[in-house]
Copies of this chain bind each other. A is one copy, B any other.
Amino acid sequence: MFVSITTDHRSLINSLSELGISSGSNPIVSLSEFTYKKGKTIYIESEPAEYVYQVRKGAVRTCKLLSDGRRQIGAFHLPGDIFGLENGGVHRFRAEAIIQTAVRLIRRQHLETVAENDAVVWRTLLSLTTNNLQHAEDHMLLLERKTALERVAAFLHEMDERLTAADVISLPMSRRDIADYLGLTVETVSRAVSQLHTDGVLDFIGNTQREIVILDRQRLASLDLQS
C-alpha cells in the first residue's frame, strides 16, 4: 500500500541536472552537498524554505511537535528521496538527521526560475507533491483504521520495499521514531515486533534489534491489508 517515493524523486535532480542548472555556472550555490551528524536538525517548522534536499546517504525524519510535547513523524526519507519541497515558502515540518546523513541541496529560487518556462520541471514538481500526497493518504488510512499489529506490519512492509538492497532490513530509526510514525507507543511497537518474531514472520540478526530479516513475506503482506 505504500508508494515508492524514491523512483520519481530521483528524476527531479536528474532532470534538473539535465537542464543545466546543477553544476553549471555556480555549483556551490546551485547544487551543493552537506552532511549532518546523528540527531542534528536540518530545518525547523515555519522556517523559510530556502532549499530542496535529496538524501544521498543516511536517513532523515520530518516531524511536527505539539504544544504538549507529543510528536508526529510524517515521513522517513532514505537515500534518493527528496524532501523539504514546500509550496508556501515555509517549512511545515521539522527535518532531522536520524543518523549521519549526507544531502544534496538546491536553492528553491532556482527551481522557480527554471520552472517558469519549462513544463518538464512543473510536471516533476507536481509529481513529487502528488507522491507525497499519496503517501500521506495511505498513512491516513493506516492511522484511521488499523490495529497496532497491522501498523507495524505495514511499516516493516514499507521498509522492506524501500530497502530492497539487502535481505536484511537495517532500520536506522529507533523504536520511538517508529512509534511516533505509527501513532503508537514504544512499548506497543516493541510488543508487536516481538509477536511477529515469535510467530516466525521475522528474525533478528546480530546483537542489535535493528537488523531484521523477513522470513514470511506473505504473512507480512497479508497483515498490511489493502484498500
- A residues with a Cβ closer than 8 A to B are 45, 64-68, 70-72, 74, 86-88, 92-93, 115-117, 119, 122, 125-127, 129-130, 132-134, 136-137, 139-141, 143-145, 180, 182-183, 225-227
| Interchain nearest-CB distance for A49 vs B (Å) | 12
Other A-B contacts than A66-B145, A144-B182, 9 sampled, CB-CB below 8 A, are A65-B227, A66-B225, A66-B226, A71-B145, A72-B141, A72-B144, A72-B145, A115-B122, A119-B122
| Interchain nearest-CB distance for A188 vs B (Å) | 13
29 A/B residue pairs, CB under 8 Å, sorted by A:
A64-B141, A65-B227, A66-B225, A67-B225, A67-B227, A68-B225, A70-B145, A71-B145, A72-B141, A72-B144, A72-B145, A72-B227, A74-B137, A74-B140, A86-B130, A87-B126, A115-B119, A119-B122, A126-B126, A126-B129, A129-B129, A132-B133, A133-B136, A136-B137, A139-B140, A140-B143, A143-B143, A144-B180, A145-B183
Asked if B133 and A129 make an inter-chain contact with CB atoms under 8 angstroms apart, the answer reads yes
Closest residue to A136 on the B side, CB-wise?
Answer: B136
Asked if B140 and A72 make an inter-chain contact with CB atoms under 8 angstroms apart, the answer reads yes
Q: Which residues from B are CB-within-8-Å of A117?
A: 119
Q: Which residues from B are CB-within-8-Å of A86?
A: 130
Q: Which residues from B are CB-within-8-Å of A226?
A: 66-67
**Distance between Cα atoms of A130 and B127 in the complex (Å):** 11
Closest residue to A45 on the B side, CB-wise?
Answer: B227
The 3 A-B residue pairs with the shortest CB-CB distance, nearest first, are: A87-B130, A144-B183, A136-B136
